[in-house]
Structure 1
């Protein structure tokens, strides 16, 4: 499988050597503050990376949990998946190491995921949700061309509490490609 490459980042399937890099951010309470998971134990991170690393063997694959790579190192986890194959709807998500926040890497990674989702997965609509307090993620989605569709009340049960989510989406015809070259994974 080949994935698009950005000016600074690439995305690829995870490998087991990524476990320690992923655990650095997956175990960080500040990184996972707005997530529905974490902070992870080493066992949870290992399970995630090993499962993601094996996913490429599935010929019916409709979900891609990938490493966001900068200078050969995994600095984040990004994902795009099909939620409704009949209607060609998908979702995406992303998490980055705190040391790399504020540098545009998440926005670049979302561009790569959109390119892959609309072209390789043939999606027509890609959605994303985030916590209403997650200002960084809101900025990434808005910069990436997503439209706020509304607030999903009591949408998630996270660490024993109900919480709202903001729902964003982008349609194929709204997306402008900025990615030039595919790379082999």
Structure 2
């Protein structure tokens, strides 16, 4: 089981019992307004948890969908992911989502920093990408704060919620990240 600890958080593999906590944020229109999915039903949330658990059995593992929980009581406040999209080029993608009751407390930054560390140190990635909706200023700020650079705008990149949506593309290279990491 993947378990990564930070000062305030535990990033860990999802288990079946997590579905209700995930449903709390995945069904919230305010939380998913910039996502290309959701709001999710209970059934969609359970299917997501099943897929996350199935990923845990991959050999070699390329997909990590993880619960983000507060220490010390393992209270789930969100989720995050890192996916190895191209093993030959050592490329990966990160993402994160949080229950709106936990916004503005630095959890996204702490989580995203931890995902970069995991990706570069454990998965030996060369480049890590992330995207966000241009209107999602808070997420763009998180990505810039952790050292990712905006590489451009992918125009009409996703068909979501009955319209074409742009995505800002962010990336950081392993040696850039190492320079920024004390």
Give the TM-score normalised by the residue count of structure 2. Answer: 0.93
CA distance in 1, matches of 2:77, 2:121: 24
The within-5 A match list for 1:9-28 is 9-28=9-28
Structure with higher helix content: 2
1:115–1:177 CA contact under 8 A, matched in 2: no
Q: Which digits, 9 at most, give the CA deviation of each residue in 1:106-127, with x for residues without a partner?
A: 0000011111111111101001
Aligned length: 178
Query: SS where residue 133 of structure 1 aligns?
Result: coil
Displacement of 1:90: 0.8
Q: Does 1:77 align with 2:79?
A: yes
Q: Which digits, 9 at most, give the CA deviation of each residue in 1:72-122, with x for residues without a partner?
A: 011111000111111111111010000000000000000111111111111
Q: Which moved more, 1:150-159 or 1:54-63?
A: 54-63
Q: What's 1:168 paired with?
A: 170
The within-5 A match list for 1:82-121 is 82-121=84-123
Query: SS where residue 60 of structure 1 aligns?
Result: coil
Let me know the Cα RMSD of the aligned residues: 1.2
Q: What's 1:139 paired with?
A: 141
1:80–1:93 CA contact under 8 A, matched in 2: yes
1:123–1:172 CA contact under 8 A, matched in 2: yes
Query: SS where residue 7 of structure 1 aligns?
Result: coil
Query: SS where residue 87 of structure 1 aligns?
Result: coil
Q: Does 1:35 align with 2:69?
A: no
Q: Which digits, 9 at most, give the CA deviation of each residue in 1:144-169, with x for residues without a partner?
A: 11101111111111022111110111
Query: SS where residue 97 of structure 2 aligns?
Result: strand
Q: What's 1:57 paired with?
A: 57
- Structure 1 runs (4+) deviating above 6 angstroms are none
1:150–1:166 CA contact under 8 A, matched in 2: yes
Displacement of 1:62: 0.5
Query: SS where residue 110 of structure 1 aligns?
Result: helix
CA distance in 2, matches of 1:112, 1:54: 23
Greater relative CO, 1 or 2 (CA 8 Å, sep 6+): 1
Give the TM-score normalised by the residue count of structure 1. Answer: 0.92
